[in-house]
Amino acid sequence: MKDLLKSYYFNLQGWKTSRKILVIESDDWGGERLVSKQISEELIRNKWVSNTNYNRLDTLESAQDYYATIEVLRSVRDVHSNHAVLTANYVVSNPDYDKIASNKSSTYYYLPFTECYAKVKGSENTQTAMRQAIENKLFVPQFHGREHLQTCRWIKNLGQSKVLQAGFERNFFSFSRNEAGPLSYLSAFDYETEEERADVLQRIQEGCSLFENTFGFFPTTVIAPENTCNSSLLSDFEAIGFKGIQGSRMQKQTQIAEQNLPNLPRKLGMYSHQNLVSLVRNVTFEPSSSNKDFVSKALGEITAAFTLNKPAIICSHRVNYVGGISEANRNNSLNQLRELLKQVVKKWPTVEFMSSAQLSNCIEEN
């Protein structure tokens, strides 16, 4: 009840609409976190990482994952006869471990995520499945980073940390805060110096070029890895060409020169000093994280959003929809997603399914 009351409170501010708009935002597509169940078990057993759903279940997506998710999105239609759509936020590359190792771990190199697909056994149809999802407008790719990794921090500390080295030997880099040191290695837009800030911007620009080469269009919205992004980057985002910023109600800021910068509250609508749209997630749907009834939880949060004339923007990470380590994980999440979407169209017959880019355009036009 307390969490539901918070949902109503947080929906009071920001852009309003009488339309029943539903957006599903899903981060981490293209990212290579775990390569096998064995690696996951070793990492957790040695207490190098915490025992989370990400460190147990999150693998590079497969053709089967795409096709299974497509089937569920196709199972419902909105008031305009459009199927449900998933805004898939891609990291477009991963570390090239072999090349980094051959250069004694002193220089960072990356592989496009499509080349990572090709390295996985039985992955011959993964790109075909991805293209099918996009061409049928069931997946709409957007930008989550060149990689889900603060590369400067990782390369700098790789030779000095036994935990980082153990991860490297297992093709794993995804260490969160206080696992391989006080700072997270997943916050790709994080920086501590102006030199690192310049590197972050270069990686974002390179990532956008790789994104455009892969998908054939420039991303219009961006979500910072781990929702960590200094507010000073907003003007750079506008110059790069982004139109909207996805994220949660609170934006974590980078820690420059050991300054303890506060988290920044965000509200739905236009930023006051930039020509950018702020998209704020107000529904959580993460079935892989626990045994909670996420259908009921999400329905309550969608009700709060629609009651207060807000679009419902669902946060639902890729880890829920991949079965490389556990097909039961994918099947359970998709069964719950199917039920959620079924109940949404029944309860709100005028619901409209949109991508983040479509909602961003809608807010900007109004």
Confidence of residue 9 (pLDDT cuts 50, 70, 90): confident
350, 79 contact by CB (below 8 A): yes
pLDDT in tens, 33-62: 999 999 999 999 999 999 999 999 999 999
DSSP letter string, 303-325 = HHHHHTT--EEEE--GGGG--SS
Residues whose CB is less than 8 angstroms from the CB of residue 154 and which lie 6 or more positions away in sequence, other chains included? 108, 164, 173, 185
pLDDT greater than 90 at residue 2: no
Q: How are beta strands 244-247 and 250-251 bridged, if at all?
A: unpaired
Structure tokens at 247: 């994220």
Share of the chain above pLDDT 70, in %: 98
pLDDT of residue 255: 63
Instruction: Give the pLDDT mean for 242-263.
Output: 81
Residue from 236, 270, 266 nearest 252 by CA: 266
pLDDT in tens, 302-355: 999 999 999 999 999 999 999 999 999 999 999 999 999 999 999 999 999 999
pLDDT in tens, 153-175: 999 999 999 999 999 999 999 99
CA triple 291-294-297, angle to 5 deg? 130
pTM of the shown model: 0.96
pLDDT in tens, 132-152: 999 999 999 999 999 999 999
Instruction: Give the pLDDT mean for 356-361.
Output: 98
Instruction: Give the pLDDT mean for 104-118.
Output: 94
pLDDT of residue 208: 98
Instruction: Give the pLDDT mean for 260-272.
Output: 84
